[in-house]
Amino acid sequence: MERGTIPINKDYELEYRYYDKDTNYKYFNRKFEIYLLGKKSLKKNYLMHMDNSNTQYMLPFVYKANQKKRFDFGVTTLNWNDVKTNFLDFVVAEIGEDKRENVKKAIGKLSSPKL
């Protein structure tokens, strides 16, 4: 499993987890999870995440904290750049438009789970 963190700014960070290759995942070849975490003094608060844990669908879903609903991406292609762009919009909507450039740089550092 490959895992790591990417700081957005002093208040937020992305944590990613790319699991080993699995034949159940048709397009991305493996399960992945990307979490948006808020950093408070000594602990991290979960805000939202994106994953492809449901093997019936090829596209990933976004889940927000304190909501049982999953959000459909609305992406018609499985291009990793399109997925990152839509996830950028979800993250910016969650933490604020003024942090768009920092979030864009952080999401740009994510590698494709297909590799």
Q: Closest Cα to residue 36, out of 89, 113, 80, 74?
A: 89
Asked whether the predicted pLDDT for residue 76 surpasses 70, the reply is no
Q: Please name the residue that has the structure tokens 């950028």.
A: 88
Q: How far is CA 98 from CA 23, 28, 57, 95, in A?
A: 40, 31, 33, 9
CA 52 to chain centre: 10
Render pLDDT for 32-69 as a digit per residue (tens, 0 to 9): 999 999 998 888 999 999 988 888 887 888 888 887 77
Q: Are 58 and 78 in contact (CB under 8 A)?
A: yes
* Spans of all domains in the chain: 2-108
Render pLDDT for 7-25 as a digit per residue (tens, 0 to 9): 999 999 999 999 998 888 8
Render pLDDT for 78-102 as a digit per residue (tens, 0 to 9): 788 888 888 999 899 999 999 999 9
CA–CA distance, 74 with 53 (Å, rounded to integer): 17
